[in-house]
Every structure is written in C-alpha cells, then in structure tokens.
Amino acid sequence: MARQWKVLLVTSVAVMMALLDVTIVNVAMPALGAAFPGSSLNDLSWVLNAYNVVFAAALIPAGRLADRWGRRRVFLAGVVLFLAGSAACGLAPAAGVLIAARCVQALGAAAIMPTSLGLLLPEFPVRRRATAIALWTATGTVAGAAGPSLGGVLVAWQGWRWVFLVNLAIGLPGLLAAVRVLRETRDATPGPFPDVVGSLLLGGGVGTLALAVVRLPDWGATSAAFGGTVAVGAALLVALAVRSGRHPAPIIEPALVRIRSFSVANLGSLVFAAAMNALLLCNVLFLTQVWRYDSLATGGALTAGPVTAAALAPLVGRLGDRFGPRAVALPGGLFFCAGALLFARAPGEPDFLAAFLPAAVLIGAGAAFSFPGFGHAAFAEFPRARFATGVAIASCLRQVGAVLGVAVLITVLADGSDTSLAVFHRAYQVIAAGGLLAAGVALALGRVRARDVAHVPAAGPDPATTTAARPAGDAVARSATRP
C-alpha cells in the first residue's frame, strides 16, 4: 500500500473514534438513567453536553500548538488521552465520574481532529487533495451518522459501558500503526509562542457560547441566565479579536480569516453541521417515540444513511478534483433538503421501506457531498504551514453548529401544543430549511481554485484573489517535514 493511503487510514481511524463519540451515546441515555437512578435527566444530559462543549472550546488552541510543537506529537498524545478517557468512562462508578471522563475524552478528540488532516494533506499533491479530503471527511461523517446505530447494538449486546470501551478495540491498534507510519510536520519558523491569554479567551468564549446554546431549551431565550451567558461569551470573543490584531503571535491570525474561500466554506460547514446533527437526533427520537422501535431496531434503521455516504465518497472526491468544491457542496445541500422533506411526510405507523429508507439515502448523499465539498473549499487556498490551525477552526465551527442544531431541535420538539407526529413533521421542515441554506452558502463560494500556498498571507489584498506566492519573509513559515 502506498504511504499516502496508510496515512489516510491511520488518521481516519482516529477521526472516526473522535466523531463517533459525539453521537454514539444518544441511544445509551435510557440505559444510563437506569444505571444511575439518583441522577436526573438534566444531570445525565451533561454526558453529551460536556463532550461537545469541551471539544469545541479546545480545538483551536490544540491546532495552533500542533503547528508549532509538531502535528505527529500532538496527534499521538491526543489518541492516548482519548483512550484513557474512554477507559475511565467505561469503568465509571458514578455519573459525575462519567462526565469528568467525557471531558478528558473531549480534550483528546480536540488534539486528534486538527492534527489528523494536518498530517494527511501534505502527503497528497494539490490535484488529489479533494479526494483525500472526501475520504477523510466521509470517515468522520459515517462515524457520526453511524453512532446511534452502533450504540444501539452495543447497548443491546453488552450494556452501556461498551459504548465507551469499544474505543479501545479501535484505538489501540490504530495507535501502534500511527507510531510507525506518521512523519512529523510543523511550522519551520514558528516565531513567538502562541498567545496564551488569547487561547484562554478563545476557549472561554467558545465554551460559554456553546453552554448557552446547550442550555437554551431549559433557560429560554428571554431568560437572564441565557442572555448573561451569551453576553459573557461574546465579550470574551470581542476581547480576543482586539487582542489578535495587536499580538505578534495571535491564536487565530487575522490573515487566515480574511481568506474568503476559507471563511465562506466554514460558514457552510457550520450550517450543514447544525442541520445534520439535528436530523440525527430527530431520527432517533422519531423511531423510538413515534414508531416505537427498540434500540436495536433503531440502530438497524439508521444504517442506510452512513452506508450511502461511504459508498459515494470515492465518486465525490473525483468530482471535486475535476469540477471544484462548489459543484459538490451545492447538490449536497439540495439532496439533504429533499431527504428532510420526505421525513416530514412520514406516517405515524412504521413503514421503513417506503417512508424512511428513501429519505435516509438522500440524507446520506447530502452528507457525502456537502461536508467534503466545504472541506475542499476551505483548504483549497489555505497556507500549508497552518493546516492544523485551519482544521481546528473548521472543526470548532462544525462542533458549534452541532450544538446549535441539537438545541434548536429540542426547542422545536418541546412545543407540546400539537400531536407528537405533527411536532416531528415541523422539526423535519426546520431541518430541511437548514439544508437549503447550506446550498445557498455553497452557491456563494464561487469558483475556488486549489493551489499550494506555502505562507500565511500578509495584510493587504484578499488572498483568495492573489495568485503569486509571497516571499518567505512576509509573515511566517514554510511547513517542514522530516522523517
């Protein structure tokens, strides 16, 4: 097997673990309630929320440090930390211990995500990077979508603890392979140490806003708690923006945000992630509450989407290489919208083949096209010296989108004024609007041309329209690679 495909396999396995744990716990929530009867549903919701909030807050600092200290080093440390957290989750004697262990898992996942693509992209020539991103993204998409399916099987087979312990069976062989296969890459001239205060402002701001979104269904949009939390998060991010414009080594360099293709693509990823994660949870709740499927049947019903996404990944990569990211991301949003609208017509009685399967296939196609399309666009004109930082920013925004989507879904479903079926239909219509909005953002991408950019762009013209490489002294850093 060629070296680049070995790197793809090793990094994809780690990403699969990290994103699997965003959704695999959903189906285990009833079992957790039975295992910890002294804990309320609100307490147990933090088994999900703690992972999401810490994951989102830690991503960008982890990526920035990886570009400086070495992506391989941070990647391996992240895998070890994630596996340790998984073992602690599986052995947790109390809900509080389980929530703390989930935070450890999230820190490991935050180190894995940006470094994995940062290690992968330099292995592929520019003309093949859409294929690499499509396959890497498909792994994460399939893992997130398959989480409820696998969770249902594991809970029915061995109980909730194996939802976490399964990571050891996946991650330990992957860790041994990573030690042998991966080469160290880092920014060769990193300059001053990244801004520590800025990192704290970023983590605090993202974490606080994510907390506000997570608690929105309980607090209410007009409550003082929600408004105060949003205000604190916004103030921290404003302080970060001001500080980043003045610090010699900001945690997020303003020049990166000015890359139009990167910013627009990440907006599209955020919107699509919100819609996708809302749909994943909505499907679980619909199947269990309306169609009365048990956890095993629910897991089986949810496999159609991930299988479709995996099957389409190679085709999507070739299309992206040939026609560009917009030609991939735009139909993805439309496929997703069509699938959600089909779900919005599902009957109250089980009818998997006629009512659920066609919609699930369209949703899988939407994920297979949208996530790689936006990912390709984000990094088509991005400097390779900051790959880990860029992936961290993109992953952070996707995670914030996931938290936002779930919060909006819970708010819609909390309206008990209609029958249960009508409420779910309305939820699917809201989700469909998210897919349509993602298609609109894809259209706004314009023509994005993949090219190899060695340096962080200096202040001045929009780097998306600048074709000449800048001199090495302009800002920073060629990316160094060594065995």
Select from 165, 169, 44 the least CA-distant residue to 94.
Answer: 44
Which of 90-94, 389-393, 410-414 tops mean pLDDT?
Answer: 90-94
Q: Which of 70-79, 93-102, 330-339, 440-449 has the lowest mean pLDDT?
A: 440-449
For the segment 309-363, what is each residue's pLDDT rounded down to a tens digit?
Answer: 888 888 888 888 788 889 999 999 999 999 999 999 999 999 999 999 999 999 9
For the segment 81-126, what is each residue's pLDDT rounded down to a tens digit?
Answer: 999 999 999 999 999 999 999 999 999 999 998 888 888 878 888 7
Tokens in use for 25? 């716990």
Backbone angles phi, psi at 223, to 5 degrees: -75, 155
Mean pLDDT of 43-52: 78
Q: Which of 87-96, 183-192, 202-211, 230-239 has the lowest mean pLDDT?
A: 183-192
> 């890497």: which residue's tokens?
136
**What is the per-residue burial (b if ≥16 Cβ within 10 Å, else e) of 339-367?**
bbbbbbebeeeeebeebbeebbbbbbbbb
Q: Which residues contact 467 (CB under 8 A, 6 or more apart)?
A: 451
Q: Which of 61-70, 130-139, 258-267 has the lowest mean pLDDT?
A: 130-139
Contact 409, 278 (CB under 8 A): yes
| pLDDT score for 415 | 63
Mean pLDDT computed over every residue of the chain: 82
| pLDDT score for 357 | 96
DSSP H helices in 414-453 = 420-444
Mean pLDDT of 217-222: 80
- Separation between Cα atoms, residue 437 and residue 163, nearest integer Å: 34
Q: Is 191 left (phi over 0), alpha (psi -120 to 50) or beta?
A: left
The amino acid at 206: V
| pLDDT score for 142 | 73
Taking the CA atoms of the chain, what radius of gyration do you get in angstroms?
21
Contact 431, 282 (CB under 8 A): yes
The amino acid at 254: P
Of 208 and 217, the structure prediction assigns the larger pLDDT to 208
Contact 279, 288 (CB under 8 A): no
- Over 60: is that where the pLDDT of 482 sits? no
